[in-house]
Amino acid sequence: MPRDREPLSVGRVIGDVLDPSTRSISLRVNYNSREVNNGCELKPSHVVNQHRVDIGGEDLRTFYTLVSPNHDHGHIRMDKYLHWLVTDIPATTGANFGQEVVCYESPRPTAGIHRFVFVLFRQLGRETVYAPGWRQNFNTRDFAELYNLGSPVAAVYFNCQRETGSGGRRP
């Protein structure tokens, strides 16, 4: 694998969840003191508590929407479940300054490897994005199209699978 390959493409986030785009602002996600880097592995016990999300940008009058879907590797081109949705996040701040319209739900994968993606979109204006009617079968592309969000301005993901030792035979 060439070193210059985009991590979101290598992890199939580009293609399965998102179309290609150019990162234009910073997006940092931390669970406790651990920063999420593309493709890192986090266990469900590490991501139980809500995380800290900081975004870049230059103008507090610019607002962003953060979408966090779960996408398992076997479910092509459709995000499986919406874990979190925050709108109206002013640039240069964090998700805690926005409006949480779908509350955070910690990951609980039961089988296989699941990708948990954080996708940041620039909104057309304040109070222009609303919660979907459901979490299941959430599709990031359709959501972005519905609210005219355009291409993502930043994205990061981690992999998560069931904790080891939580089933099977006992010694």
- Identify the H or E element spanning 167: none
Residue 171 lies in a domain: no
**Per the domain annotation, does 166 fall within a domain?**
no
Q: Is residue 167 part of a domain?
A: no
In a domain, 168, yes or no: no
Show the domain range for 66: 7-160
Q: Is 92 inside a domain boundary?
A: yes
For 19, 27, 61, 78, the CA distances from 47, given in Å and listed in that order, are 26, 18, 31, 23
Distance between terminal CA atoms of the chain? 39
- pLDDT single digits (tens) 41-98: 888 888 887 789 999 988 999 999 999 888 665 544 445 788 899 999 999 999 999 9
**Residue 103: both structure tokens together:** 């509350």
Higher pLDDT, 108 or 168: 108
User: What's the number of domains the chain is made of?
Assistant: 1
In a domain, 11, yes or no: yes
Residue 155 lies in a domain: yes
Identify whether 146 is part of a domain: yes
pLDDT, tens only, 99-130: 999 998 877 767 777 788 889 999 999 999 99
